[in-house]
Amino acid sequence: MMAMPLRRTSRWSRHLDWVVCAAVCLALIGEWTRSYWRADALLLFAPGGHPQIVAAYNGRVGIALTSLRIANEPAFSMRWDSQAPDDYNTLAEKYCSDATCIGGYGFYGVWGHEAEAGLPLHNGSCAAVGLPFWLPTSIAALLVLRLAPRAWRIDRRLNAGLCPHCGYDLRFSPDRCPECGTVRDQAAS
C-alpha cells in the first residue's frame, strides 16, 4: 500500500465543505417553502436579448434555455419577476406554439418554437426542464451527512494524537503511522 502524506490543514478548512453544503441545504429549504406562496423568476439576458430563466414555483425549480429574442433588452442584464407560471403547460402555452411536454411527480420538460402570441419575441426556440425542490435539497443534506462526521472524526483523532487516516496511536512514531503508512508532516511532528 502506498504511503499517503499527512497534510496539516487548519480546522476551519476541514469544516468548510460541510458548512457550505449545510448553508445551501438551508437556503433550498427556505426557497422551497417560499415557492408555495410566491413564484420567483430570474431572467438573465444574453447578447441579443436571449433570456435564460431560472424559476421557483409550487415546490419546483425550473431552468429555461431559449433562443428567443426579446426586443429592447440590453445584453448581460438581469430582471427579477414574480410572474412565473403555475405549471409546465402554462409555460408551454405562453412561449411555445408547437410545444412538447413531458412530466410527472414534480419533474417536467418543455421544448418547442416561438408562440404567435402578442409577445415581443422573434423567431427562436425554447427548452425548459424542472425538478422538485426535494431533489437538490436531499442531495445537499446527504453531502452534509457524509462530510460532517468525517471532519469531526479527523479533529477528534488529531486532538488525541492519533493518525487521522486509521486512528492508530502516533505518540511513539515520529515519522509515519506504523499501521497504515501515512507520512507525518514536519509541522505535525
pLDDT at position 96 is 53
pLDDT at position 170 is 85
Task: Tell me how far apart the alpha carbons of residues 3 and 43 are, in angstroms, rounded to a whole number.
Answer: 51
* Contact indicator for 116, 97 with CB cutoff of 8 Å: yes
pLDDT at position 159 is 85
For 76-129, give the DSSP string.
T-EEEES---SSHHHHHHHHBSS-EEEEETTEEEEEEEB--SSS-EES-EEEEE
Global pTM reads 0.68
pLDDT in tens, 67-119: 766 667 677 777 776 655 555 455 555 555 555 666 677 787 777 765 544 44
Backbone φ, ψ for residue 183 (5° rounding): -80, 130
pLDDT at position 58 is 83
Pick out the chain residues at pLDDT < 50: 1-6, 88, 116-122, 186-189
Domain boundaries, the chain: 36-132
* Contact indicator for 95, 120 with CB cutoff of 8 Å: no
Task: Tell me how far apart the alpha carbons of residues 163 and 96 are, in angstroms, rounded to a whole number.
Answer: 60
